[in-house]
Amino acid sequence: GQNIDQPTEMTATEGAIVQINCTYQTSGFNGLFWYQQHAGEAPTFLSYNVLDGLEEKGRFSSFLSRSKGYSYLLLKELQMKDSASYLCAVRDEDSGTYKYIFGTGTRLKVLA
Amino acid sequence: ETGVTQTPRHLVMGMTNKKSLKCEQHLGHNAMYWYKQSAKKPLELMFVYSLEERVENNSVPSRFSPECPNSSHLFLHLHTLQPEDSALYLCASSQYSSGGTEAFFGQGTRLTVV
């Protein structure tokens, strides 16, 4: 079956660093994605990993270990505007069908 | 226009009404998706279309009926809905291939069934 787990909520301070973890189980792994979603808005793409290792994009980095079924999103120099939900998603291939499977999301609160 | 556009943004309907949600993408993608987002639950995949052909129907009740007339447009026809169907309905598009790209989302339709 398919399963994606991530913490429900996290709190951090402005200027700090926060790491949001994600573990997954899927049969046809075809990439892992992180999205940011502000309340009442559409999810927006942050990062993509398909090979093991770290991908860095400005203040945001994402790591993947396929053997462990594990990823994390690292946010540096936190800003108030980073308060949002962060969704971990796996692109799964099953008999030629590609689906994006999402976790419940981690609601991040950034405090002044 | 660019990206993925959904209309209407908000919809209130009675349980006996019939309404349709519309999604349009201007990204040249060949796959489109409908997701349902309820509070404290993960995004639930409802339907996947690739090249206008439905390739996935995730055990969605028949009161939800999708339509994909071409690769740029996707509809979700609604009839005799239940209050528990109230949710944010998100449309997304992507390239459907092993190369894998991110899915792009529309702003969603906030549906309330009364």
pLDDT one-digit tens code per residue, A16-43 = 999 999 999 998 899 999 999 998 889 9
List CB contacts (< 8 A) between B110 and chain A: 40
Interior/surface letters A63-97, b for 16+ CB within 10 angstroms, e for the rest: bbeeeebebbbbbeebeeebbbbbbbbbbbbeeee
Omega within 30 of 0 (cis) for the link into B8: yes
Residue B98 has pLDDT above 70, yes or no: no
- Asked whether the beta carbons of A103 and A4 are under 8 A apart, the reply is yes
Residue B2: its pLDDT value, please? Answer: 65
Q: Which tokens go with B87?
A: 């949710």
Residue B11 has pLDDT above 80, yes or no: yes
Going through A1-112 in order, the beta strands assigned E by DSSP cover: 3-5, 9-13, 18-25, 29-37, 44-49, 53-57, 60-65, 70-75, 84-94, 97-102, 106-111
Residue A27: its pLDDT value, please? Answer: 87
Residue A101: its pLDDT value, please? Answer: 93
Residue of B nearest to A50 (CA): B100
List CB contacts (< 8 A) between B41 and chain A: 104
Return residues 23-82 of B near A (CB < 8 Å): 31, 33, 35, 40-43, 45, 48, 50, 55-56
Residue B1 has pLDDT above 60, yes or no: no
Residue A34: its pLDDT value, please? Answer: 97
pLDDT one-digit tens code per residue, B12-68 = 999 989 999 999 999 999 999 999 999 888 899 999 998 878 877 778 999 999 999
Q: Do A91 and B105 touch (CB under 8 A)?
A: no
| pLDDT band, very low/low/confident/very high, at A112 (cuts 50, 70, 90) | very high
Residue A61: phi and psi, rounded to 5, are -135, 150
Taking Cα atoms as reference points, which of B109, B111, B107, B104 lies closest to residue B32?
Answer: B104
Taking Cα atoms as reference points, which of A24, A58, A39 lies closest to residue A109?
Answer: A39
Residue of B nearest to A42 (CA): B107
Residue A1: its pLDDT value, please? Answer: 67
- Asked whether the beta carbons of A90 and A32 are under 8 A apart, the reply is yes
SS3 of chain B: CCCEEEECCEEEECCCCEEEEEEEECCCCCEEEEEEECCCCCCEEEEEEECCEEEEECCCCCCEEEEEEECCEEEEEEECCCHHHCEEEEEEEECCCCCCCCCEECCCEEEEEC
Q: How far apart are alpha carbons B38 and B36 in whole angstroms?
A: 7
Q: Do B48 and A97 touch (CB under 8 A)?
A: yes
Residue A91: its pLDDT value, please? Answer: 92
pLDDT one-digit tens code per residue, A58-93 = 999 999 999 999 999 999 999 999 999 999 999 988
Q: Do B33 and A100 touch (CB under 8 A)?
A: yes
Q: Do B107 and A48 touch (CB under 8 A)?
A: no
| pLDDT band, very low/low/confident/very high, at B101 (cuts 50, 70, 90) | confident
Return residues 51-80 of A near B (CB < 8 Å): none
Residue B86: its pLDDT value, please? Answer: 96
Taking Cα atoms as reference points, which of A37, A40, A42 lies closest to residue B3?
Answer: A42
**Of residues A42, A89, A98, nearest to B106 (C-beta):** A42
Residue A109 has pLDDT above 60, yes or no: yes
